[in-house]
Structure 1
Amino acid sequence: MRKLISIALFCLSTTISQAAGIKLVNIPPDANGPALRAIVWTPCAAAAREIPIGPYVLSGRRDCPTVGARLPLIVISHGHTGSFLNHHDIAERLADAGFVVAAINHPGDSFSDKSRQADISVFVERPTDITRLIDYMLDRSPDAAKIDPESIGFFGFSRGGYTGLVLAGGNPDFLDANVPCPDPKLPICQQIERKEVPTGPLAHDARIKAYVLADPLDEFPTSASLKDVKAPIQLWASQFGGDGVLPETMPALAHALPQSPEFHVVPGAAHFAFLAPCPKELTKDAPALCVDAKGFDRVAFHEQFDEKVLGFFRAKLH
């Protein structure tokens, strides 16, 4: 009966939501890490408006009251020196459909704080950042009472995908992973060369019930490093890869997982095709992130991508 009521409430929330409510949040520092800057999208009954934030124009309503109850929660982890806005289109789509969505800027490895982007410490701390985000959303956020703690999903891109695999139970093997080192002078390359890598388990989080991983950085070279990953996974791979993600590692990762993922390869796509379509000014300032190969339509791809992500979470979180 409880499950039937939860499904009914979820369906109700998807019908009355018209837009994504958008809140900017500061999560205080604690014993496990520094302050986190976050953005939260929620189901909202008001009509959407354009909201400029940084280089992006979001679709939603600022500080709109959250509608619905026992709502599923999706947490998002961005890639190398990325932003909590990098996947705003997926967040808006999920919130419009009745999900609460929360994303952070990872300390030391974001567009606004690159202080440890090339240090192995960020690979240790990223999963803990997400665990702290979930703690906040369930315990102290304004929407805590509206979230179903049994229905939590994760979306991660690139290093964010690595983050998800750790949270799901994976134990990285930095010494043997098929990840190219772009410059031997980088701290992380020197740390790996000196075998100064974490040996203890990193933060796993059994509260997360389903994962969508887009071109994850694969620091898991063997099935043994993934043997404890049991949650369902939707795995996406670009045809050409990039930023340390090799095209051949994605099929290998899919094969190494103990349960076969829902696996999609995107023809004609390079690594950054998974980022939200760029506005004109950002395309001008960051063409490497925004300009795709000739013939690849990022806008059209994201219409399909966002819908498949939504369908997966709807099927796995209930």
Structure 2
Amino acid sequence: MTRRFLFFLLTFLTLICPAYAAPLQPGFKTLGIWEPAQNIRLDFAVWYPSRSTPFQVNYGDWSFSAARGRAPVEGKHPLILLSHDSAGSRFSLHELASQLARNGFVVMAFTHPGDNVDEMGTLFMPAQVAGRTKQLTQALDIALANPETGPLIDPDRIGVLGVGPGGTAAMLIAGARLDATGWPIYCAGKEENADPYCTPWARQRMGAFSTTPNLSAPYRDRRVRAAAAVSPSYAMMFTPASLSRIRIPVLLLRAEKTPLYTLQHAERLLSAMPQPPQLGILPDADTATLMSSCGENLNQTLPEMCLAVAPSRRKAVQEKMAAESIAFFLKHLGTPNPPPLPPEPEDNPQIAPQPSTPEKNAVRKKRR
């Protein structure tokens, strides 16, 4: 067999057989959306499967490898919405996003207003989770309607992954509802500094949180078919009744060294869900390791997060989190034409149904 013949044979196989094509790589672009009616600008970071060679991208304080601006792989792909931790931004999960893109997912992330590395005014307030949930639903509307991202997305294969309060928002989108029944006794017998929720400042805010009108409002988005919650917070704000409406697959990733998601929180969530979630353990993970590696600028301005752990430890946690998440989403979103969703459960007297309005009916029709 001559070299020339071998060259033409390999070229032919590459063109006609995906198995011989170049491996998927993370493509990347940014997308800015202005919503004048709500006076909100959302700047998205978008990763997508590409076959172009990635290169170093320097974006503000962050540096990562991606094929920025390169052509995506043709076809419609499953979408994952990413919701960062409180000390994060749209780039703080870039390693996870890149791995998802390498496995065929489109990923969209944005910086949550009021709960990010630059401003944390919504800590221990309803807006920290309810506001995030509304923003994720709005982001999904944008992703499906935008001419740059809409053609890439299979609307029947959508998932959400959140870290910290983002994990709580993911559970609300999956069908859970907030319920403050467990809050009044949560801090009983605990020293003020033994639990972040039980400091005087946090308790004051949590008290206001627990008495918020319409606290148990539904946030379920039926377009989302699978949800992953990494180290979710506010476990004391859920009960078996408020978790009973979850009907989609859920992945819980427990970060063993994160004080906001202690063993007590994990056991509460695991025992309260109507169908057991898939559980993954990140044994050496804390808040810092759940964030991707930083760029040089951010290493200097945010050393308490960027330089708090050894690079090898962060890498191990990031790889474990990506492997667990990818396996979960490939299982539930990897195959086109997924089976129909189960019917939505009826409301019960423990959590009163919300009154219907023409605006809400319009939103419901849009989400079906």
Whether 1:209 and 2:225 are equivalent positions in the alignment is yes
Larger deviation: 275-284 or 55-64?
275-284
Pairing partner for 2:155 from 120, 129, 149: 149
In the alignment, is the contact (CA less than 8 A) between 2:254 and 2:261 conserved in 1?
no
* Residue type at the aligned position of 1:172: L
In the alignment, is the contact (CA less than 8 A) between 1:240 and 1:247 conserved in 2?
no
How many residues align structurally?
Answer: 306
Whether 1:111 and 2:136 are equivalent positions in the alignment is no
Q: Secondary structure at the match of 2:289?
A: helix
TM-score by length of 1: 0.85
Structure 1: segments with no counterpart, 5+ residues = 1-10
In the alignment, is the contact (CA less than 8 A) between 2:31 and 2:46 conserved in 1?
yes
Deviation at 1:176, TM superposition (A): 2.4
Whether 1:35 and 2:52 are equivalent positions in the alignment is no
**Structure 2 CA distance for partners of 1:47 and 1:169, relative to 1, 3 Å:** same
**Structure 2 CA distance for partners of 1:159 and 1:67, relative to 1, 3 Å:** same
**Structure 2 CA distance for partners of 1:83 and 1:60, relative to 1, 3 Å:** same
Distance 2:33 2:20 in 1: 28
Q: Secondary structure at the match of 2:245?
A: coil
Distance 1:281 1:297 in 2: 21
Whether 1:52 and 2:58 are equivalent positions in the alignment is yes
Whether 1:229 and 2:246 are equivalent positions in the alignment is yes
**Structure 2 CA distance for partners of 1:227 and 1:33, relative to 1, 3 Å:** farther
In the alignment, is the contact (CA less than 8 A) between 1:50 and 1:59 conserved in 2?
yes
**Structure 2 CA distance for partners of 1:33 and 1:188, relative to 1, 3 Å:** farther
**Structure 2 CA distance for partners of 1:15 and 1:182, relative to 1, 3 Å:** farther
TM-score by length of 2: 0.74
Which structure has more helix as a fraction of its residues? 2
Distance 2:248 2:70 in 1: 32
What's the counterpart of residue 283 of structure 2?
A: 267
Larger deviation: 86-95 or 294-303?
294-303
Whether 1:134 and 2:150 are equivalent positions in the alignment is no
* Residue type at the aligned position of 1:46: S
Distance 1:25 1:174 in 2: 37
Pairing partner for 1:218 from 229, 234, 247: 234
What's the counterpart of residue 26 of structure 2?
A: 20
* Residue type at the aligned position of 1:241: T
Distance 1:299 1:17 in 2: 22
Percent sequence identity is 25
In the alignment, is the contact (CA less than 8 A) between 2:129 and 2:166 conserved in 1?
no
What's the counterpart of residue 8 of structure 1?
A: none
Q: How does 1:218-257 map to 2 (within 5 A)?
A: 218-219=234-235, 220-242=237-259, 244-257=260-273
**Structure 2 CA distance for partners of 1:265 and 1:81, relative to 1, 3 Å:** same
Larger deviation: 94-103 or 175-184?
175-184
* Residue type at the aligned position of 2:256: Q
Distance 2:241 2:21 in 1: 43
In the alignment, is the contact (CA less than 8 A) between 1:234 and 1:262 conserved in 2?
yes
**Structure 2 CA distance for partners of 1:257 and 1:141, relative to 1, 3 Å:** farther
What do the CA deviations read for 1:209-234 (whole angstroms, capped 9, x no partner)?
Answer: 11121100134432111001111112
In the alignment, is the contact (CA less than 8 A) between 2:53 and 2:67 conserved in 1?
yes
What's the counterpart of residue 85 of structure 2?
A: 79
What do the CA deviations read for 1:103-137 (whole angstroms, capped 9, x no partner)?
Answer: 11111212244444454333322111001111111
In the alignment, is the contact (CA less than 8 A) between 1:210 and 1:233 conserved in 2?
yes
What's the counterpart of residue 4 of structure 2?
A: none
What's the counterpart of residue 14 of structure 2?
A: none
Structure 2: segments with no counterpart, 5+ residues = 1-16, 187-194, 336-368
Distance 2:101 2:284 in 1: 29
